[in-house]
Amino acid sequence: MKDIIKKYTFKEELELEFEILDLAKLFKSKKEMMTKPHRAQFYHILIIEKGKGTHLVDFNPIKIENNTIICVPHNSVNKFDINGVYKGKAILFTKSFFCRNKYDTQFLHLSRLFSDLYSVTKLEFNPKISNLSILINAMETEYLRESDNAKFHILYNMLHIFLLQTEREMRKQGYVELKPSANLDYLVMFKNVLEKNYKTEKSVSAYASKLSISTKQLNKATTTLLDKTPKQIIDERIVLEAKRLLSHSSQSIKEIAYKLNYEEPTNFIKYFKKHTNSTPSEFKENIKK
């Protein structure tokens, strides 16, 4: 089978799975790699002090602007603008670095910054007065310090505080978060199970069964919180993966159909056209323009 979307893991030679880097220097040195669609196996926080262009995260165009922060979730298909300007800092870290216990994992999974329950996070900040700038500078100072037994713990705590402060800033700017509830618990469990099974399981009743709830309960959870039915969410996940593979890999339409568990490529073509108003071939042609 032909190559699929390029995946990049964290640098193995680093002592910690955490970096804070000059964004302009990083973009200049890795431009060829970064401007091709890729799946990074770590989290990005792009602190853009000066910038222009359009950044793409899973087909969502994000305008690059001065004094903004863009949070890119783990495993998203990410593409930097080849003609863009990126000046500022990039904070990179892995789940392994941040998640020391189940509460850390839950925090990352539900945070407004990275959760797929929301659109990609972009917020404004004032570098002259923002507490975020102070934290960024402190993290960079610690990151560049000679290693000792305290370095990991200090960076971990600084990062955690930075994420919490960023969430606070988002609330000030009017971003809405889903409030804790039984429906949210069901929705999160559904999304977790869907992520593991969307290629092979496409029925709402099967997911409800896996969650030990009724289809009615599952429908109530998704429609109440996202105004979408479970079937719509399943379809969106399948279509997203199809788009990723069609635009970012050299696999044929037939190979992609089989990868998504369609025994007959014609059924995949009909399904894709129904949900996107274009055939897979038309979609591929359009993204090249």
Q: Which amino acid is at 230?
A: P
Residue ranges in 10-52 assigned as alpha helix (H): 23-29, 31-34
The pLDDT score that the predictor gives to residue 36 is 85
- Reading the block at residue 41, the tokens are 């196996």
The C-alpha angle with vertex 105 and arms to 260 and 144, in degrees rounded to 5, equals 110
Q: List Cβ neighbours of 135 (8 Å cut-off, separation of 6 or more).
A: 158, 161, 162, 165
**Across residues 117-139, what is the average pLDDT?**
91
Q: Answer positive or negative: Cα dihedral of 137, 143, 148, 149.
A: positive
Q: What CATH fold (topology level) applies to the domain 6-172?
A: Jelly Rolls (2.60.120)
Residue at 232: amino acid letter: Q
Share of the chain above pLDDT 70, in %: 94
Q: Where is pLDDT greater, at 91 or 6?
A: 91
285: helix, coil or strand?
Answer: helix
* Positions of E strands within the chain: 6-8, 18-22, 38-40, 43-52, 54-57, 60-63, 68-72, 77-79, 85-93, 121-124
pLDDT of residue 2: 40
In the prediction, which pLDDT does 1 show?
34
How sure is the predictor about 259, in pLDDT bands with cuts at 50, 70 and 90?
Answer: very high
- Is the predicted pLDDT of residue 7 greater than 60, yes or no? no
Q: Whole-prediction pTM value? A: 0.86
Q: What phi and psi, each to the nearest 5 degrees, are found at residue 72?
A: -110, 115
| Fold classified for 182-288 | Arc Repressor Mutant, subunit A (1.10.10)
Q: Please provide residue 26's backbone torsions phi and psi, each rounded to the nearest 5 degrees.
A: -60, -45
Which pairs from 250-254 meet CB under 8 Å and 24+ separation? 250/2, 250/3, 251/1, 251/2, 251/4, 252/2, 253/280, 253/281
**Residue ranges per structural domain of the chain:** 6-172, 182-288
Q: What are 52-75's pLDDT values in tens digits?
A: 999 999 889 999 999 999 999 988
Percent of the chain topping pLDDT 90: 76
pLDDT tens across 217-252, in order?
Answer: 999 999 999 999 999 999 999 999 999 888 877 789
In the sheet that 77-79 helps form, which strands lie side by side, from edge to edge? 6-8, 38-40, 77-79, 54-57, 60-63
How confident is residue 128, by pLDDT bands cut at 50, 70 and 90? confident
CA distance 185 to 198: 19
- Identify which of 126, 129, 53, 51 has the alpha carbon closest to the alpha carbon of residue 90: 51
> Whose structure tokens read 């988002």?
170
Please state the rounded mean pLDDT for residues 168-183. 92
Which of 84, 276, 117 lies closest to 190, judged by CA? 117
Cβ proximity of 192 and 178 under 8 Å: no
| Three-state secondary structure call for residue 112 | coil
